[in-house]
Every structure is written in C-alpha cells, then in structure tokens.
Chains A and B, each alone.
Chain A
C-alpha cells in the first residue's frame, strides 16, 4: 500500500500542469487550429508567454456558467455576436477600451479600421463566418444551387444534417420558403412567421441528423452519413482543400455574422489577456488567419493582405463569406433578434424536435 501511495503521489506531482499564462476557449477543430497558427504561435514566439487552447461546443455557455458560479478558468473566449451582447449586458465580461487595440499600418485608429459594428463595449471581432449548406459532390454531380434545394428531398434525396438549435436554421428555412433575406427577421417576429419556418423544417425533419459541435458536419459528410449538411463555411473549406474531400459549399441563403473575442469577468490573468487580445486582433494577425481557414477578417486593412491558403495555391477570395459573388442572397444574422428570442425559440425548437 505504501508503495502504491508513493507512486500515486509521484503521478500527482508529474500531472500537475505547467501553468499556462493565458487560456483561450474556442470552438475546436480546424477553426481552433487557425487561431493557434495565426495568433498563438507568433505570440508565444514573440513574448515567450504560453497560451493554452481549450475547446467547447459554444464557449459562451461555459463562460456564463463560470462567471455566475464565480469559477472562471479562461482568460479569453471566442463567442458569437448575440452572446457577446447578452453577456456584456449582464455584466459578465470585462469592458474593452478600443484605444488599447493597435491602429492599422497606415495609422487609421482601430475604431475606424474595424468593420461597422465589429467593436462593442466588451468584445472585439476577429472574423466574419457564415452558416452555409454544403453537399457531397460525388452524390450530386448536378449539385443543388439554392437554399430551397436543401429542403427539397424529392429533387435531392438523401439525409441532411443541421445544427441542433433554432439560430440560423429558422432563417434558412424562411429563405428556402421564398422570404427575401431583408424580410426574414420581420417575418420571424410574427407567430405565423415562426410557424412557417417550422413548417419548412418539417419537410426534412425525418431525414435529419442534428449536430452540436462545428467539427461534426464535415465528419458526417465524410462518413457518408448525410448527403447535405449546414455547417460553418470554414470547416467545409478546410476539409475540402486540405483533405481533398469532395465537398462543395452553396452560398445561397448563407447567414453570416462576426465572431468575437471577449474577456470574462474574473479572468485569472487579465493583463496578459488584454495584451494577447491586442496582439491577436492587429491587421497582420487577422489577415494571417485566412491562410488557415476561409473566414473573412474583421479589419478593413487586413483585407488587402489576404492572399493564398497555406497550401500556397488556393486563392482565398472566392471562399470568403463576404466576397461579392457570395452575397447575392445572404443574410446578416441579427443579434437584436436573437438576444431576445433565443430562449423562447430554442424552447419551441426543443419541443418540436422531441415530438415525433
């Protein structure tokens, strides 16, 4: 027994973590990889500060729980817009003074260099990402062209996958049902509009698998479990270009929004977190990220620096959610809508999902 105790104590000593100076919580998979490559590695190389990466399905959820339980273990979290606003309103985030952010190389202050709305009281946008739908080109040589095709099982038979949640699904359903992008949120404000969205979802409900983590949809496509899936555009791009999977993205009916960095209240290493945040959101870093994943940088000055993918041959422009040809029928996600309606519509979504 004594021997065992000694061994176990030794194990404890070894397993005790080398304390990371900054902990970042992000969405895992190829997106987290792009952040490690574009922000974390250069930061560690420049400052010697170690940065730890932790994965979550949606970092806003654990962050809220951590702050409320007074139990914060991360310094920076990567969250969606509506969540950034909501958490900020509830006093769960540190406020971020835009003056601490570096200006563009030509001296334009950060407040003007970031895209409109990309800076909020508590959050700094890094990228623009999009929820799109993607399909397996080996299954559909004459691929689907519009968002309506995603909901059309007769023309395009096969299983579907969608994110398990109301957000983006309801918008896509309405656009598929013929609502112009500009009217989507006005329609969703009405009970009839919500019914209409669910009625469209009903058409494919029986043949749909529901994913939760962003890494799942490319996997589902690759395994042949589904023929079409909604996904974050960067994940599909990464699988198609780096792994050579036969995946294609359909931009029609895409729902795009910012992804932002926030600092939770009570972050263990506040000062280090701020330094890292300023470094990670400068012009070059944001542009570099596009080398690793097809998300658009949130700074105007980064746009010009975006070049080729890390394979050295793929032009990134056409794969960005914000490039002109992808925006013909696209919807900017409305945080005002989701801040208010999130719990109600998710409740309804759960009820709908659980009913046979």
Chain B
C-alpha cells in the first residue's frame, strides 16, 4: 500500500498490526456473542440443576439441624469417646426439640440410612422426651436399650455435620463401624458396585452385538450404488425416527409369552404350548430391545467411514495374491477402525445411562443403574440417588472425554 520502510498502516493511518488485532478481537467477540445466549441457557437449565443435585450427595441436614446439642458434644469430645451423662443430656434436649418441631421422623430417617431399624427409636423416644428426668443416661436406656449401641453414636457423630460422605459409602457398599472405621457391608446386602459392573458389562455386550449387526449392513450400504443405498438406508433411519416407546411396545408384542414369536414357534411345533420361551421381562429382553434401539447409532458412523474407503486398495491386495480373508483383515478392517471407535463409544455411552427400556422390559434381572437411581428418587432417598448419579455421571463424562479425544465431538452426525 505505502512504501516498505515505514510500518504498514491502514487507509486511516492506524498501524496495520493494531488494526488487524482489533478486527480479530472484534470477530472473536462477535462469534462469542452469538454463542452466549445458548451457553447461558444451557448453564441455567442444565449445568446448575445437575450441580445442585450433586450437592445433595454430600449434604444432608436432616439430622444436623435438629441435633445442635449433640453436635456441640461431638465437637468437644473426640472420636471414640464413650457417651457420658453430658452426651445423653444433649440427646434428651435434642429429642425434646425434635418433638416440638415434629422432626424426629426426619432426623431418624437420616440415621436410619446408615443404621437400619433406628428410625422408630427416634420417633418413640421423642414422643416421651418431655417426661425424661436426669440422670438422662439411665432414663434413655430404660426407654430403649438401643441407645447404648456404639454404632448409633458413631452414626449420629457422622450425621451431626450436614456435610457427609455417608452416601458415597452406601453407594460403594460400605458402612461405618462402631469405632469410626469403614468396612464392606455383608455380602447379601452388596448391590451398587455389582450393579455398576453389571451395567457396564451389559452395555459392552450390547455394544458388541450392535457392532456385529451393524458391520455387515454398513458395508453393504457403503458398497451399493448411491440410489439403492439411500433406499435401504431408510430401513436404518426409520427406527431411528420412531418413538422409543413405540419400539418398546412392539417388542413386548413380539416377545411376550402369548406374543407373536412364541405363537409362531408353537404353531410350527418348535416349542410346546407350556414351554413358551421367556424372552421379555428379563435380561434377555433388555439386551434385545436396547440392541434394536441403539443399532442405528452404530450403523451411521460406520457407514460414513466405509463410504470413503476406496475399493482400489482391496483390489490391489487381491492382485498381489492376498486371499479375500487376508484382504479384509489387513486392508479393509484397519480402515474402518475410526468408524468402529466412533460408533462403539457412542452406543456404549448411551447404553450405560439407559432407563426407559430396562424399566419397561427388564423385569427383575434386566435393570440397570439408572433404574436404581429412579428407585431411590421415588423413595425420597435423594442423597443416595444423587451419590449414585454422581458416580454414573463421572463414568459417562470420562467416556465422553475419550470420545472427544479419539473421534471429536464435531464429527457427530445424525442421519
């Protein structure tokens, strides 16, 4: 524009470098302002609600706000101190408070989470709290000898602060011992770790079946002429667009004891009328229906990768003497890996958090961790539901991060 010795300037005389930087930052601001409304919306309707919910997994004031005297005693006396008369006096004062506030049930429920069978200890003792006379230790023990149980005192100590790790302990099948240690719960009561493991194993199994089913048809679609491929693609996309509940209903109709499949088998004489196969309301049902629902999520990324693979490589391999199996294994399969990775991760992520299908067709043994979260929600054990949600969310976000690293979120495609 001007001579080369002077610094470059724009037409109005500003240095070009500064002008460019200003334009650049203006462009950045503009881009950001376009995104800002949605970002704000998602933060308010999505991030904050989940954050608030997760807070409940470590915060429960049902006992602590009613037991101020006990909290003071626990603060003054270290872990392991046997409850003395002062402790029982504090307990008696708190029980009287609970009776006045009608909150013994709530406080008892909080302790009941960690020591089952103690809820009524609080409600019944609070009912008689006005009649308690010193010495309180004898009076309370006379009312119910359970008050002498060190386990209850340890649980009350843990619950006297609203911030607690109790719910994560429960969610990992562990419990506090009387001396403040931590141990696994008896084997018959362990469920959460096992169910998490089962959820992951079932999800992996479903992902595997989806891959097995998706690979051949994605390959077929990718190698057919475009017009015919588009036609067949409808068979993949229609389920994708069809309501989840419709598909679940259809499978119930097909698979139930008196359903279409069993009727066909009976009329063909393959099974007897009494020997109808149970294919639904159990784990098998969950696997079949979830495979069907998630299959399109596997076919689509596989297809888009396979479409780009040039057939000339395979032909070259064949002409150099490779068998068709070797050609597939050494030439074709490696080229489809990005599609396999993308599809498998997506299907796995979606499967891990599935709720509706297991709830409707899972029966007893086909339930996943989401169903248990719902169960605790419905029982108003919100802190435990939040703790389980927190653990599930952590797993899903790790997988999501992995997906972003390996595949890239912007590669996500729909149809």
Contacts and interface: CB of A to CB of B under 8 A. Distances in A.
A43 B165 CA distance: 51
B365 A354 contact: yes
Contacts of A205: 364
B191 A350 contact: yes
Interface string A327-356: 000000000100111011011101111111
A344 B117 contact: yes
B106 A90 contact: yes
Contacts of B190: 351
Interface stretch (B69-77, B97-105, B325-333): B97-105
B113 interface: yes
B258 interface: yes
B119 interface: yes
Interface in B98-126: 101-106, 109, 112-113, 116-120, 123
Contact of A348 (B112, B120, B188): B188
Contacts of B367: 353-354
> Which range contains the number of A residues in contact with the other chain?
35 or more
Contact of A61 (B117, B120, B380): B380
B99 to A, nearest CB: 11
A271 interface: no
A117 interface: no
Nearest to A351: B191
A209 interface: yes
Interface residues of B, number: 40
A354 B194 contact: yes
B102 A350 contact: no
Contacts of B379: 61, 343, 346
Nearest to A195: B188
Interface string A225-245: 100000000000000000000
Closest 8 CB pairs of A and B: A344-B116, A89-B105, A90-B105, A351-B191, A91-B102, A340-B120, A353-B364, A64-B380
Given A89-B102, A339-B120, A347-B116, 12 more contacts: A91-B103, A209-B363, A210-B364, A223-B257, A224-B257, A225-B256, A344-B117, A347-B191, A348-B189, A351-B188, A353-B365, A356-B283
28 contacts: A61-B380, A64-B380, A65-B378, A89-B102, A89-B123, A90-B102, A90-B103, A90-B105, A91-B101, A91-B105, A157-B274, A208-B364, A224-B257, A339-B119, A339-B120, A340-B116, A340-B117, A343-B113, A344-B112, A344-B117, A346-B379, A347-B116, A347-B189, A347-B191, A348-B189, A354-B194, A354-B195, A354-B367
